[in-house]
Amino acid sequence: MTLPAAEPAPELATIADLPFHVSGRYPKPLLVGQVRDGHVGGESTKEWFERLRDLSLGLRALGVSPGDRVAIMSESRPEWLLADLALLVYGAVSVPVYPTLSQSQARYILADSAARLAFVSSQEQLDKIQRVRHDLPAIEAVIVFDEIALAAPSVLSLASVVERGHSQLLNQWGVGRSFRDDAREVKPSDLAAIIYTSGTTGEPKGAMLTHGNLASNVIAAQTILRIGDDEVALSFLPLSHAFERMLAYVGLYNGITIVFAESLETVSRDIQIVRPTLMTGVPRVYEKFEARIRQKGDTLPQPRRTLFQWGLKVANARAKAEMSGRRLSGLGKLQAVLAERLIWSKIRDNVGGRLHTMISGSAPLPLAVAEFFHGIGLPITEGYGLTETSPVLTGNPLGAARAGTVGRAIPGIEISIAPDGEILARGPNIMAGYYNKPAETAEALRDGWFHTGDIGTLDADGYLTITDRKKDLLVTSGGKKIAPQPLESMLKRSPLVAEAMVLGDRRKFAAALIVPDFAALDRRLRDLGRPAAPREELVERPDVVALYEEIVEALNQELSQFERIKKVRLLPREFTIDSGELTPTLKIRRKTIEQNWQEEIEAIYGA
């Protein structure tokens, strides 16, 4: 099924135009800021624009030319955006590098992209590059955001490069005018960024995104958001990811104040300080968010705990009704009014009290999570896209969201479903190709369509539902195909389950690796009057294993015979980015998990 493209939205020609658009339209006292030591600080529009201009001029003084690749290896912070846009206004190409990557992974991206310079956030990130600098002959200098002792002539502080650019502005006539003129020379077809996909298998591929790709997506993506005059966004996802970076561009384009969390560990505190109106996350963030809310409620003294649990039951009933287009009964409405006053409003107060829009991307959001937040008055806007699509392809329209789907194509995008179920897309946001990988480019871009690698369905109204990854389908030794992601999402609905991975490829039956939520497990054992124990002992204890077998058996009742999970193995720790088991966007890497837990997997299958 193929749907016609929606009416094209007005164009923003290049991302090089973005800083000038912002400085001319949004003279805000705080445009970009960050929480530091429990307080919000940052720059006004004027300060931000002037520092961006000076940094761009300083980079030119260092010899950076249009088309040169420059890496940015940093946590999300105002300087990340500053460096990115300072490059793009001059036609240079930014190459984001996740700060969580290992030394060897970072070296691969820097070498493959032939980056000429690199921005880094801290001593830790600088050390990663310096230890492999001998393998990176193209790197001429490294620019550090933090104030640290600079140990080499080719290591520069961000402040010194900004000062160099400002000196040029003061001492050379016409430099300020040329800054704007050079930005006008950037064309929509010019390369803006090479973003390396984190991938769940294989080596990273650098998706080449043009200014036209990114600018078209800024204009089209904002159509699925509610944006008022005084919005404040809390940002904590990595800007290295295309999803968060695009939403930062959309925020700037609409004059939204963007405040970065101090760190991932301080988000729960920072949300109270910033009191955001908008927030973005990936499904795993919202799953953890829900788990924390439930855990906090479970620790309340009686009778408040019972009241809290009643409020969540009412929220669930409300969500199921409203998300399926049904009306609440008279009793349901009365219960919702009471739950709003006694429970839901207090939960929302704990996230600042002003939050009205939460956005989810990067992977399918479990329906149970969507229902939870909708029920308590914090609906999540879910969309879909990939790095290669700049990244947004679809989104649930305001006031017309459809449960279990990722919405409809945004303006200018066409979506089609191939005969084998693969989702195909085309539009102005589709990448130019993979850097240095012509064979992979030819495989992904065929007959004018980008092949996403995801499996899905389109309904008659154009709503897209993601069912699985094409390459993640498990094929049992009996030839049956199992889509693991829906099963994993259903397992993680249980508060006792932190992580789950379904097995079964080339095996006789499906099985599951499960990481318990150990805090929830401890509470359950205490309620049952059973003793606590170290994690390594808990995952082997028959009474604990039996708890998880009950969860799996309940799931099995909803599955076809060949999909049913026959055996379970509990693991003593969560999957992590450092172990290579999770991508930087918290997707599981199946092959790595299978390698790391090979002995446990073989024990399941009796090898």
User: Residue 1 pLDDT > 50, yes or no?
Assistant: no
Would the CA dihedral through 373, 362, 393, 403 be positive or negative? Answer: negative
Peptide bond into 391 cis (omega under 30): yes
Which of 112 and 474 is assigned the larger pLDDT?
A: 112
pLDDT at 7: 41
Among 126-140, 200-214, 381-395, name the one with the lowest average pLDDT.
200-214
Neighbours of 350 (CB within 10 A): 13
Which of 296 and 66 is assigned the larger pLDDT?
A: 66
One DSSP character per residue, 399-414 reads T---TTS--EEPTT-E
pLDDT at 198: 61
Domain span holding position 498: 473-605
pLDDT at 105: 83
Name beta bridge partners: 414: 426
pLDDT at 200: 45
Domain assignment present for residue 407? The answer is: no
CA 284/CA 362 separation, integer angstroms: 10
Domain assignment present for residue 538? The answer is: yes
Report, as an integer, the average pLDDT of 295-316: 93
Cβ pair 413, 429 in contact under 8 A: yes
Residues 400, 402, 406, 411, Cα dihedral to 10°: -30
Among 168-182, 304-318, 540-554, name the one with the lowest average pLDDT.
168-182
CA 239/CA 397 separation, integer angstroms: 25
Count of structural domains, the chain: 1
Query: Which secondary-structure segment (H or E) carries 142?
Result: strand 141-144
Tally of CA atoms within 13 A in the half-sphere of 519 that contains its CB = 11
User: Where does 517-582 show beta strands of DSSP type E?
Assistant: 565-570
Q: Identify the band that residue 8 occupies on the pLDDT scale cut at 50, 70 and 90.
A: very low
Among 57-61, 334-338, 393-397, 402-406, name the one with the lowest average pLDDT.
402-406
Domain assignment present for residue 402? The answer is: no
Domain assignment present for residue 251? The answer is: no
Q: Phi-psi category of 453—alpha, beta or left, where left has phi over 0 and alpha has psi -120 to 50?
A: left
Would the CA dihedral through 316, 317, 318, 319 be positive or negative? Answer: positive
Note the pLDDT tens digit of each residue in 67-118.
Answer: 999 999 999 999 999 999 999 999 999 999 989 887 888 999 999 999 999 9
Note the pLDDT tens digit of each residue in 408-467.
Answer: 999 999 999 999 899 999 999 999 999 999 999 999 999 999 999 888 999 999 999 988
Task: Assign residue 496 the CATH number of its domain.
Answer: 3.30.300.30
pLDDT at 606: 79
Provide, rounded to the nearest whole percent, the portion of the chain with pLDDT above 90: 64
Note the pLDDT tens digit of each residue in 522-543.
Answer: 999 998 999 999 999 999 999 9
Per the structure block, which two tokens stand in for 495? Answer: 């508060």
Among 30-39, 96-105, 375-384, name the one with the lowest average pLDDT.
96-105
Domain assignment present for residue 520? The answer is: yes
CA 32/CA 55 separation, integer angstroms: 16
Domain assignment present for residue 549? The answer is: yes
Which of 296 and 450 is assigned the larger pLDDT?
A: 450
Domain assignment present for residue 565? The answer is: yes
Query: Which secondary-structure segment (H or E) carries 447?
Result: none
CA 486/CA 496 separation, integer angstroms: 18
The overall average pLDDT reported for the chain is 90
Provide, rounded to the nearest whole percent, the portion of the chain with pLDDT above 70: 96
pLDDT at 319: 92
486-517 core/surface letters (b: 16 or more CB in 10 A; e: else): bbbbbbbbbbbbbbbbbbbbebebbbbbbbbb
CA 505/CA 484 separation, integer angstroms: 10
How far is residue 284 from each of residues 198, 280, 525, 556, measured CA to CA in Å?
16, 12, 25, 23
Residue with tokens 């200014």: 211
Note the pLDDT tens digit of each residue in 135-175.
Answer: 999 999 999 999 998 878 999 999 999 999 999 888 887 78
Distance between terminal CA atoms of the chain? 44
Q: Provide the CA 601 distance to its chain's centre, in angstroms.
A: 30
Q: Identify the band that residue 281 occupies on the pLDDT scale cut at 50, 70 and 90.
A: confident
Domain assignment present for residue 501? The answer is: yes
Note the pLDDT tens digit of each residue in 186-245.
Answer: 999 999 999 998 654 457 899 999 999 999 999 999 988 888 888 999 999 889 989 999
Q: Identify the band that residue 9 occupies on the pLDDT scale cut at 50, 70 and 90.
A: very low
Dihedrals phi, psi of 343, to nearest 5 degrees: -125, -60
